[in-house]
Amino acid sequence: MRLVIARCQVDYAGRLTAHLPMATRLLIVKADGSVLVHADGGSYKPLNWMSPPCTLLEGVDGDGGTEWVVESKTGDTLRITMEHVTSDSSYDLGIDPGLRKDGVERHLQELLAEHPASLGDGLMLVRREFPTAIGPVDLLCRDPAGATVAVEVKRRGEIDGVEQLTRYLDLLNRDPLLTPVRGIFAAQQIKAQAKTLAADRGIDCVTVDYDALRGLDDPAARLF
């Protein structure tokens, strides 16, 4: 991971355009290739970012300042022009063991693994916690046509969960034994912003009724 504190301006060009005027910000380049631009405020979300796979070219602008040009596989660009660099450090964080889910989220994943058809007609489980180089996919399934489906399960569906599933899909679709892989984002509640981003990424959203799933595992409930 590389952390840079710099006075910079940021220009994004792609499906839309965005401009961040000159100010001091934190720039993060992660080992997976993602680039994030943070301010010292505004909660945990970056002001702008580029998800992997992408390329970062470091050069010099017309005024002699440092310039990064980050380009995605779709041709979107993030241009970061630095007026002054205060700090530039790199760190090796090693392999992350992954997120340990809370009781409800873990149980929700277990229930969906037992009843994958609740996410889509004819969906069948291949493996729960399917391993990848960037962490385990919650559920790997097959649809009736035999296509691979990656499922990310959250208690509350937010943009970060969609980004996480996007990274898994990018990686899984490079495997000739799995591709094409589509995604399903499953949660008890899904925020509107997450639904919008998921639709843009071609990911299906499914709102899960936790109590109804629990009922499927209740022998008494199956009598009625």
Q: Tell me the C-alpha distance between 65 and 158, whole Å.
A: 37
- We report the CATH number of the domain holding residue 133 as 3.40.1350.10
Q: Tell me the C-alpha distance between 60 and 66, whole Å.
A: 5
- Do 83 and 49 have their domain in common? yes
Last residue of a domain, one of 57, 90, 123: 90
Question: Would you call 186 helix, strand, or coil by DSSP?
Answer: strand
pLDDT digits (tens, 9 = 90+) for 169-210: 999 999 999 999 999 999 999 999 999 999 999 999 999 988
Assess if residue 36 is contained within a domain. Answer: yes
The pLDDT value recorded for residue 97 is 66
Assess if residue 110 is contained within a domain. Answer: yes
Last residue of a domain, one of 34, 66, 90: 90
Q: Is 222 left (phi over 0), alpha (psi -120 to 50) or beta?
A: alpha
Residue predicted with more confidence, 71 or 73: 71
Q: Global pTM? A: 0.57
Assess if residue 98 is contained within a domain. Answer: no
The pLDDT value recorded for residue 182 is 96
Assess if residue 188 is contained within a domain. Answer: yes
- Do 120 and 212 have their domain in common? yes
Residue 102's Cα: distance from chain center in Å? Answer: 19
**Residue for token pair 């796979």:** 53
Assess if residue 176 is contained within a domain. Answer: yes
Range of the domain at 198: 103-216
* Torsion sign over Cα 52, 159, 68, 76: positive
Assess if residue 221 is contained within a domain. Answer: no
Question: Would you call 215 helix, strand, or coil by DSSP?
Answer: helix
Assess if residue 223 is contained within a domain. Answer: no
Is residue 137 pLDDT above 50, yes or no?
Answer: yes
Lowest mean pLDDT among 1-10, 52-61, 85-94, 100-109: 100-109
Q: Tell me the C-alpha distance between 141 and 136, whole Å.
A: 14
Contact 192, 200 (CB under 8 A): no
Is residue 30 pLDDT above 80, yes or no?
Answer: yes
Q: Which of 43, 44, 54, 42 is nearest to 14 (CA)?
A: 54
Number of domains the chain is built from: 2
Mean pLDDT (whole number) for 80-91: 95
Is residue 222 pLDDT above 80, yes or no?
Answer: no
Mean pLDDT (whole number) for 94-106: 66
**pLDDT category of residue 100 using cuts at 50, 70 and 90:** low
DSSP state of 220: T
Other Cβ atoms closer than 10 A to 11: 15
Q: Tell me the C-alpha distance between 84 and 174, whole Å.
A: 39
Mean pLDDT (whole number) for 53-64: 90
- Do 124 and 195 have their domain in common? yes
Mean pLDDT (whole number) for 116-137: 93
- Do 118 and 149 have their domain in common? yes
Assess if residue 44 is contained within a domain. Answer: yes
Is residue 89 pLDDT above 90, yes or no?
Answer: yes
Residue predicted with more confidence, 28 or 221: 28
